[in-house]
Amino acid sequence: MWKRTAALVGCLAIAAATTANLPAAAKPDRKVDLELDEKSAVQIAEIILAKVYGQKVLQEKPWQISSDKTAFTIEGTFHGQGFGGVARIRISRATAEVLEVIHGK
């Protein structure tokens, strides 16, 4: 039991020492504000929407883009007649996190 405890304490000490030597940007608890701009938000949106809904979703351009202090909302344009929907994605300005992805019907 003592050997396991000593080994665990040793591993934790090595992990702590290794983390202490990492540059600030590599530490997992560091918050980075990306200050995402509209062009970057659209590029991220196109990548995510194409992965989720397929390349055909890119035919919904031009994108309708709106924003507030915290996020960009990028929404497709409906080009057809009758019933249908468009993709909408909301992306955080600070972290580039995808907050919402939906497609109307």
Closest by CA to 96, choosing from 52, 45, 27, 61, is 45
Q: 56 with 99, same domain?
A: yes
Identity of the amino acid at 11: C
Among positive and negative, which fits the CA dihedral 51, 48, 77, 84? positive
The predicted model gives 76-96 an average pLDDT of 90
Q: 84 with 57, same domain?
A: yes
Q: What is the pLDDT of residue 28?
A: 62
Q: 49 with 95, same domain?
A: yes
Q: 95 with 68, same domain?
A: yes
pTM of full prediction above 0.85: no
Query: Looking at the predicted structure, is the pLDDT value of residue 87 above 70?
Result: yes
Strands 64-67 and 98-103 turn out to be unpaired
Sheet holding 98-103, edge to edge: 64-67, 71-75, 87-92, 98-103
Query: Looking at the predicted structure, is the pLDDT value of residue 2 above 60?
Result: no
Write out pLDDT tens, residues 12-36. Answer: 444 444 445 555 555 566 677 778 9
Closest by CA to 78, choosing from 104, 49, 52, is 104
